[in-house]
Amino acid sequence: MGALEGKRILITGGTGSLGKVLLRRILTGELGQPKRVIVFSRDEAKQHYLRLEFKHRRVATDEIIYKNADELLEFRVGDVRNYHSVASALRGADIVVNAAALKQVPTCEYAPYEAVMTNITGPENIVRVIEELGLPIEAVVGVSTDKACKPVNVMGMTKAIQERLLIHGNVRCPHTRFIAVRYGNVLASRGSVIPLFHEQIRSGGPVTLTTRLMTRFLLSLDRAVDTIFAALQRAHHGETYVPRVPSARVEDVATVLIGDRPVAVIETGIRPGEKVHEILVSEEECQRTVPRGEYYVIQPILPELRFEGGAGALEAEYSSADDTMKLEGLRDLLIHHHLLMTPRHQDDEAEELLR
């Protein structure tokens, strides 16, 4: 029986890029047929269009079978910042995936308290509701980011606090398994660099780089969902799952996307709060990180919660600068994920990515 068989699953921020792919994957039944899936977000327009999308795709496709989609899906307008809204949404849920976030680095720098409210108060509300109402929630998965590791920007700082709040949730609510996933840039998600580069290329350039030295981890939305599923299936209380994924120089991403087009590349300078290289596991965390399949698993900082001991899996921090992909490998990766524009399909692909 799958980990989601017969479960009622709540996805906060469920209308975002990750939330939509997570929803699609849950409804395929690959981890068992859920009893109900609740999409919780504050954007009623996105919920409306997502509802229409699912109602219009009732038949099986190569990827998806929406079995009883009308009965399975529930849409709730609400905000993780609001305790009572969270309390109403969590009643009756078995599993919670907290994908609600303010994630744009410059936005968080210019509106830091807004980031605190969503990225810190939101997860605290989830823990507090479970604790104070005694809800029998089985698992809560917090979606984190490489920017939470040795953070230098508000977005990363608030996500780092989210990780610690969820770890401590295991002490406050020992009957609930609070776990996290941490990964880098998601290919072609809303606000990421690839849709921006596509739009700049379509317009004839220039393509803008903040610095030619910059490197980033790269993974697809499906690989991000794989990480959530792996954590749900195998993570112990307080553990953080980190996928082993490739990294690349952002300049090389631009080079591959431009190809032989006469498009200029210019440097604009690092944006507020932006790192040159990202880190997924810090040197301090190495000693409590263990390998598990395709993942590194960071044991909780609170020793009473640790499941595994022994020597750490890493001798040094896990950085995007460590082993960047060559141009050919990067080109193959983008082709595999249908992200390399050809002149004939350029407009269609860009429109699909930016939808």
Tell me the CATH number at 215: 3.40.50.720
Per-residue model confidence (pLDDT) at position 235: 97
In a domain, 3, yes or no: no
Identify the domain containing residue 221 by its residue range: 8-353
Overall domain count for the chain? 1
Low-confidence stretches of the chain (pLDDT < 70) are 57-71, 188, 190-191, 310-311, 341-355
Taking residue 31's Cβ as centre, other Cβ atoms within 10 Å add up to: 18
Per-residue model confidence (pLDDT) at position 53: 85
In a domain, 142, yes or no: yes
In a domain, 1, yes or no: no
Per-residue model confidence (pLDDT) at position 351: 40
pLDDT digits (tens, 9 = 90+) for 24-60: 999 999 999 999 999 999 999 999 989 888 877 654 4
The crossing angle, in degrees rounded to 10, of helices 122-133 and 83-90 is 60
Greatest Cα-to-Cα distance within the chain, rounded to the nearest angstrom: 62
Per-residue model confidence (pLDDT) at position 337: 87
pLDDT digits (tens, 9 = 90+) for 60-94: 444 444 444 456 899 999 999 999 999 999 999 99
In a domain, 19, yes or no: yes
pLDDT digits (tens, 9 = 90+) for 200-221: 999 999 999 999 999 999 999 9
In a domain, 52, yes or no: yes
Q: Mind telling me the catalytic residues? A: 147
- CA separation for the pair 313, 298 (Å, rounded): 10
Per-residue model confidence (pLDDT) at position 65: 46
- Residue 115 backbone dihedrals phi, psi, to 5 degrees: -65, -40
In a domain, 2, yes or no: no
In a domain, 286, yes or no: yes
Per-residue model confidence (pLDDT) at position 284: 93
Q: What is the mean pLDDT of the chain?
A: 89
- CA separation for the pair 132, 154 (Å, rounded): 29
Q: What is the pTM of this model?
A: 0.90
**Cα dihedral sign, 22-23-29-31:** positive
In a domain, 31, yes or no: yes
Q: If you search the block for the tokens 């996500």, which residue do you land on?
A: 159
